[in-house]
Amino acid sequence: MRTLDQCVRDLAAGTPSRSLVEDCLARIQDGAGEGRRVFLKVHADQARLTADFIDATRRHGAAVSRFAGIPISVKDLFDVAGDVTTAGSRALRDATPAASDAPAIARLRAAGLIPIGRTNMTEFAFSGLGINPHYDTPRNPFDRLTGRIPGGSSSGAAVSVTDGMAAGALGTDTGGSCRIPAALCGIVGYKPTARRIPTAGVLPLSFTLDSVGPLAATVACCAALDAIMAGDEPADIKPVDLDGLRLGAPQTLVLDDLDATVSRHYAAALAALGKAGARITDIALSDLGEIAVLNRRGGIATAEAYAWHRALINEKGAVYDPRVLARIMGGRDQDAAHYIDIVRARADLIRRVAAISARYDALIMPTVPIVAPPLAPLVAHDEAYRAINLLVLRNTSVANVLDRCAISIPCHRRGEAPVGLTLVGEHGADKTLFAIAAAVERVVSPVVNA
């Protein structure tokens, strides 16, 4: 697993971009067979041609972005000119190819990053498990012998990074779809404030809650990709001083039903941060208990998903993943009055929580309450699928409901099951959150501290 900084240094030292691309393609095509689960389409020829052009440009001394020539993967939810955006579904395989790149893709290309292929995902992004019955499910890089879920919905995105098939990945996050797979696979996943990065050209799950975010090896990698997609100039992060940093640790909801591994690593991370000078305060934040009430009939995401899908379901509902279809159809039972009530209740919740969280530099919590469970029982049993899906989405969805930025950082020990530590920032405070996360990462991350 390479960081963007390592790739930048290699390119500056004379390593050709073509070499980076070939290395990623070799990992995609190796005999283990994981590449076919991770990628739904590989842009091998185009990636090679782009790399050769960038290498020639560098040889002639022309100024190019320091990121030019680095391969990245793209979740199968984004429009890429000439590709069909299938969203991990069979229902869209005969759709018209995209006429142009989504703005996020266009900005990454303008910075010289090379999309190497489209990654697998939960169909239509509507699950936190990453299971896809149409194109098979990427296996979590931890304990592949057992076969564990990668997390979703950006499943292929996470595995493409952990397995060195790309130096970074582009995903989306509506209820945790960047942060869940990042936590379960042992990398960093970032959810920006929802409207920081354009969602145009991205097949929607929820117009209100969708956000576009990166998955990568480190906080610095995610910060660079986020800046490019947001239209900013990437800059080196200056980590905050942990001494005196105020972190609020919610006690409501987010600590329920932690498994022993997550509980142990979360406690160790808090202790290490406290030793480094961070002031961690337990806060009740009982308002978080209201989120379950907001989502009792499927919430905003289900209502908005049904609004988008209803015509396609009438035509091709028979080829949907039945579990995804059942969730979407829950939106049919909501009326306009119920939807308006949810929207107003959410706005009130955002206001009340903001008044409490303003006392802290960030909130801190476990990303996912459990380590990645085995895949087979979840495929076999609807009730197990439903229960674990709700559980893995529970903590991450807090940031989406509250319209905040949030980041998951690995906090486990090397060789053990991955565990993610989440920091939640204020609305619009993305750059501040990256500076906090970079400092926290130095203390807790097995990737940075290898």
- Where does 71-176 show beta strands of DSSP type E? 71-75, 114-119, 169-172
Number of domains in the chain: 1
In the numeric block, the tokens 């984004």 are attached to: 78
The pair of three-digit structure tokens given for residue 96, joined into one six-digit string: 């018209």
CA–CA gap between residue 114 and residue 15 (Å, rounded): 16
Given a cut of 90, whether residue 442 has pLDDT beyond it is: yes
Question: Residue 352's pLDDT band (boundaries 50, 70, 90)?
Answer: very high
Given a cut of 80, whether residue 15 has pLDDT beyond it is: yes
Question: Residue 62's pLDDT band (boundaries 50, 70, 90)?
Answer: confident
Q: Is 431 a catalytic residue?
A: no
**Strands 188-191 and 406-410, how do they pair?**
antiparallel
Given a cut of 80, whether residue 138 has pLDDT beyond it is: yes
Give the model's pLDDT for residue 74.
98
Read off the pLDDT of each residue in 10-37 and give the average, rounded to a whole number. Answer: 92
Tell me the per-residue pLDDT of 179-190, one tens digit each, with 9 for 90 and over: 999 999 999 999
What is the chain's alpha carbon radius of gyration, rounded to the nearest angstrom? 21
Give the model's pLDDT for residue 447.
81
Give the model's pLDDT for residue 32.
65
Question: Residue 448's pLDDT band (boundaries 50, 70, 90)?
Answer: confident
User: What range does the domain containing 394 cover?
Assistant: 1-450
Give the length of the chain.
450
CA–CA gap between residue 225 and residue 72 (Å, rounded): 10
Nearest to 2 by CA among 163, 234, 202: 163
CA–CA gap between residue 199 and residue 102 (Å, rounded): 8
Cα separation values, 223 from 33, 159, 394, Å: 31, 19, 25
Given a cut of 70, whether residue 31 has pLDDT beyond it is: no
Kindly report the average pLDDT of the chain as a whole number: 97
Tell me the per-residue pLDDT of 79-109, one tens digit each, with 9 for 90 and over: 999 999 999 999 999 999 999 999 999 999 9
In the set 75, 155, 160, 408, the catalytic residue is 75
Tell me the per-residue pLDDT of 386-423, one tens digit each, with 9 for 90 and over: 999 999 999 999 999 999 999 999 999 999 999 999 99
Please report, for the domain that includes residue 100, its CATH number. 3.90.1300.10
Read off the pLDDT of each residue in 248-265 and give the average, rounded to a whole number. Answer: 98
User: Are the C-beta atoms of residues 281 and 250 closer than 8 Å to each other?
Assistant: no
In the set 73, 127, 153, 445, the catalytic residue is 153
Start-to-end CA span in the chain (Å): 12
Q: Is 155 a catalytic residue?
A: no
Give the model's pLDDT for residue 450.
63
In the set 17, 127, 160, 177, the catalytic residue is 177
User: Are the C-beta atoms of residues 370 and 355 closer than 8 Å to each other?
Assistant: no
Q: Is 397 a catalytic residue?
A: no
